[in-house]
Each structure stands twice: as structure tokens, then as C-alpha cells.
Amino acid sequence: MAEKGRAPLARTMLQQCLHARLQVREGDEHLKAQFVQINRGMVIYVCFFKGATEEILPKMVSTLLNLQLCELPSGKMTSVLELPGSVLIIPQATLGGKAKGKAMQYHKNIGKEDGLQLYSTFVSLCEKELMAAIGVTGREAEVTVKHGTYGNRQVLMLDTNGPYTHLIDF
């Protein structure tokens, strides 16, 4: 979806899941590790590049949540909004890497502060759109948006009936 002739401002990777569980806070001697989880739905891994601004977010969210990537029992495809399914958003800066020899370089990735700001707004917009869709269908039981903690190690357990991995640049 990135406009032709310009480098992407954001990269997303999508996987379908039956269940996914993500650590949002590491455990230590005082506190147990904390996790979020979703059942049937879509995992969105997201990375922003230098130059990305909030302007791109509404189109990103609308595109990702409306893409027909989810399989119905009939074999027909539908979107996560229409399913409706849940969404797990995982910040994934490594997606912006480029191989140089044996090492990965991340020169094009956005700075941490700007990245966190974009990530937070991206999560909010996804929540807003999914909640609006649930309102329309009236099927709200356990459909939810969960998300990882920006900058953390993303300890993930994914269970899928076919990840159907898709790459979408913006």
C-alpha cells in the first residue's frame, strides 16, 4: 500500500491466530510476569520508519482491519472487523532491519520517542475501530484489542490454524 516511488513509512506483518499470548511485563522477585491474550483473530507486528507521522495512521488501521484475511468455516474470506475477531498488536522494530553482511542494521527505524507515540496512537485507533464494529454487529463476547509494551522483549506464544503471513508496507 506504500505509495509508489517512496520508501515505506511503516511496515506491518500480519498472522492469523486461534490463540496468542504475549508478555507485557517481565516477572521479577517481587512481581509475577504479566500477560495479555486473545483467542481467534489477527496478530499485527508493527514497525515505523523515519519520517512517519500520525497522518498515516488512520489509513493503516482502516486497511489492516478491513483486509479480507480471515477464513470463515465456509472457506470464504472476511476481515477481522467483520468476523469479528480480536487483535493483538506487537511492536516489532526488527521488521525495519536490513541485512549487511552477517549483521542487521536499523538505520531507517524511527527514534524511540516518536515510535512510542505513533505506536500508542495506532493501538488507540485500532481499539476505536474494532469497538465500533462490535457495536454494529452486536457480537462482542471476548472480542478485544490487546497490545505489547513498546521497547520490551516480546515473549509470545502463538497457536494458529494457518498463519497466512502477510507483509503490508505503508
Residue pair 15/165 in contact (Cβ under 8 Å)? The answer is: yes
Q: How far apart are CB 142 and a copy of itself at their closest, in Å? A: 21
Q: How far apart are CB 98 and a copy of itself at their closest, in Å? A: 9
Contact with a copy of itself (CB under 8 A) among 79, 117, 121, 124: 79
Q: How far apart are CB 1 and a copy of itself at their closest, in Å? A: 5
Q: Assess 39 for contact with a copy of itself (CB under 8 A).
A: no
Neighbours of 88 (CB within 10 A): 25
CA atoms within 13 A of residue 66's CA, in its CB half-sphere: 8
Contact with a copy of itself (CB under 8 A) among 3, 11, 41, 80: 11
Contact with a copy of itself (CB under 8 A) among 3, 54, 142, 159: 159
Range in contact with a copy of itself (rule: CB under 8 A) among 33-41, 127-135, 139-147, 157-165? 157-165
Neighbours of 134 (CB within 10 A): 16
Which residues, listed in sequence order, are joined to residue 43 by a DSSP beta bridge?
15, 88
Residue pair 13/165 in contact (Cβ under 8 Å)? The answer is: yes
Q: Assess 24 for contact with a copy of itself (CB under 8 A).
A: no
- Which one, of 132, 114, 140, lies nearest residue 57 by Cα? 114
Contact with a copy of itself (CB under 8 A) among 35, 39, 66, 124: 66
Residue pair 79/27 in contact (Cβ under 8 Å)? The answer is: no
Neighbours of 138 (CB within 10 A): 7
Residue pair 22/90 in contact (Cβ under 8 Å)? The answer is: yes
Contact with a copy of itself (CB under 8 A) among 34, 53, 94, 137: 94
Binding site for a copy of itself (CB under 8 A): 1, 11, 13, 45, 63, 66-69, 77, 79, 90, 92, 94-95, 97, 99, 102-104, 153-168
